Amino acid sequence: MIRLFVAAAFAFSLPAHAQESAEPRWSIAIHGGAGTLDPDKMTPERRAAYEAALQNALDAGKAVLAGGGSAMDAVKAAIIPLEDDPLFNAGRGSVFTWDGTNELDASIMDGRDRSAGAVTGVTTIKNPILLADKVRTDSPHVFLMGEGAEEFASGQGLETAPPEWFATEPRRESLERMKADRLSAFDVDHKFGTVGAVALDMEGNLAAGTSTGGMTGKRWGRIGDAPVIGAGTYADNRSCAVSATGWGEYFIRVGVAQEICTRLRVSDDATGGGDQNIADAVMAEVKELGGDGGIILVTPEGNALYSFNTTGMYRGRATSEGVDEVAIFAAE
């Protein structure tokens, strides 16, 4: 049985005087999936490996922002190491489809002009987040699928990889267990391992990106929320940048990422606690419908926060004001 818990979520908000300071600010948050995470079942070694991977990704994004780089570049810099790390369900280490393949989804959005790119069902691109960005910058479209996306990619100079690169034994075992014991994806995975990043750069621009292998045993060309602009990813300089992880069908139905940004845009209180309340309210809607998962969010004011309704979410955040942390369980 799937148990849902409302987790404590954490807000980082700056005092009003700091927000008025002339110092340019930057902010970044990352995630590596949410789910039923039990501290007693995680070995110290495994925990250390996850924390190191999250810190490594956070550091890559931070370096871009602290050096005056763009939020878009920071999002890509943070997501690439997570795609390359088999601990996470994105790029290498993606979950298996019912047919025993790995089909990857990714999306990215630039809050400056709301330009966006997304791909679904790609099988040969080492870093799907880079292909999503190429769709944004070098095609007249927003969303490409399968073979067409690969054909577009072939002219873009992106690194490719053979099927063995993406396929890992633990993920294959999850599929086999799912089939043998007639389990759901949630029963075998215990967590959603999608990765994502959101960032604010010193120019005041926001960006968001998300990358995933989807859910174990997906079939019939199933597409989750991660590559759907508005559901798994959204960025708009007027409101916020959001990346989601969770049971994609519910996130699509609620339109989670855009719903949070829209509520923030029309809300009077776009600083401090208001951001957290809005994110929590939208995640509560996901829960009411029966879905679970979480989001990361940054605002134009530099707030970086999380909201999730699971017992844990692999996550991290850093800001120019000195915040620098990674965390896994809800109580952290």
State the Cα–Cα distance between residues 150 and 170, nearest whole angstrom: 27
Cα distances (angstroms) measured from residue 271 to each of 11, 44, 139, 197, 283: 11, 37, 36, 20, 19
Nearest distance from C-beta of residue 137 to ligand ASP, angstroms: 24
Stretch that binds ligand ASP, among 54-62, 143-151, 171-179, 187-195 (CB under 6 A): 187-195
Residue selected from 212, 216, 237, 309 as contacting ligand ASP according to rule CB under 6 A: 212
Stretch that binds ligand ASP, among 59-67, 149-157, 163-171, 189-197 (CB under 6 A): 189-197
Looking at the Cβ atoms of 70 and 258, the one nearer to ligand ASP is 258
Q: Does 224 bind ligand ASP (CB under 6 A)?
A: yes
Contact 74, 64 (CB under 8 A): yes
208: nearest Cα among 71, 56, 324? 71
Q: Does 282 bind ligand ASP (CB under 6 A)?
A: no
Stretch that binds ligand ASP, among 50-58, 165-173, 221-229, 301-309 (CB under 6 A): 221-229
Cα distances (angstroms) measured from residue 30 to each of 166, 189, 313: 22, 20, 10
Contact 285, 253 (CB under 8 A): no
Looking at the Cβ atoms of 212 and 319, the one nearer to ligand ASP is 212
The single residue of 97, 123, 124, 194 carrying the catalytic annotation is: 194
The distance of Cα 245 from the centroid of its chain, to the nearest Å, equals 6
Site residues (CB under 6 A) for ligand ASP, limited to 228-257: 245-246, 248
Interface size with ligand ASP, residues (CB under 6 A): 15
Stretch that binds ligand ASP, among 148-156, 210-218, 300-308, 309-317 (CB under 6 A): 210-218
- Please state the φ and ψ torsions of residue 13, each to the nearest 5 degrees: -130, 150
Q: Does 193 bind ligand ASP (CB under 6 A)?
A: yes
Nearest distance from C-beta of residue 67 to ligand ASP, angstroms: 30
Residue with tokens 């072939």: 154
Residue selected from 70, 127, 194, 303 as contacting ligand ASP according to rule CB under 6 A: 194
Bridge partners of 27, per DSSP, are 200, 319
Q: Does 215 bind ligand ASP (CB under 6 A)?
A: yes
Nearest distance from C-beta of residue 113 to ligand ASP, angstroms: 26
Task: Judge whether 194 counts as a catalytic residue.
Answer: yes
What element of type H or E holds 47? helix 44-66
Contact 194, 89 (CB under 8 A): yes
Tokens of 151: 């054909």
**Pairing state between β 104-110 and 206-212:** antiparallel
Q: Does 302 bind ligand ASP (CB under 6 A)?
A: no
Looking at the Cβ atoms of 166 and 192, the one nearer to ligand ASP is 192
The length of the chain is 332
Looking at the Cβ atoms of 197 and 270, the one nearer to ligand ASP is 197
Stretch that binds ligand ASP, among 71-79, 159-167, 218-226, 302-310 (CB under 6 A): 218-226
DSSP secondary structure of 247-273: -HHHHHHHTHHHHHHHHHHH-S--STH
State the Cα–Cα distance between residues 182 and 195, nearest whole angstrom: 27
State the Cα–Cα distance between residues 180 and 217, nearest whole angstrom: 12
Q: Does 96 bind ligand ASP (CB under 6 A)?
A: no
Q: Does 33 bind ligand ASP (CB under 6 A)?
A: yes
Binding positions for ligand ASP, rule: CB under 6 A: 33, 89, 192-194, 212, 214-215, 224-226, 245-246, 248, 293
The catalytic residue positions are 194
